Amino acid sequence: MKFKIFALFAFLSVCFSGCAQNGFKNADVQEFEKITAEQSVVILDVRTPQEFADGHIKDAVNIDVKADSFKDEALRQLSDKNQTVAVYCRSGRRSVTAANILSEEGYKNIINLKGGILSWQSEGKAVEK
């Protein structure tokens, strides 16, 4: 019985450690806004071009994380892997995917907007069209 419990805990710890986020930090709207006010930050919108056109955070660069060319385009446009990249999407799911990809590619300072642009707008923050 003890072995079964131990095996279960071992299995769960492996599962949860594989699900843990690595290489990026989540930020709420206030923290994200403060970070993106810095000049050396790249603001990366990973939504579709249509979503981007409907409204985006000022000075954001658009690279669709669902596009097959996302990784290549990100590597091309975000050449300094030490520069802070502040990433967001609509609700925060796609940006986590993008943050993980960027982290795997060696980017050091990735900030993910929790709740995406929906949380940004719910806090009354401006978007550009």
Catalytic residues: 89
3-state SS, one letter per residue, for 28-78: CHHHHHHHHCCCCCEEEECCCHHHHHHCECCCCEECCCCCCCHHHHHHHHC
Give, in degrees to the nearest 5, the angle at Cα 98 between 93 and 104.
Answer: 130
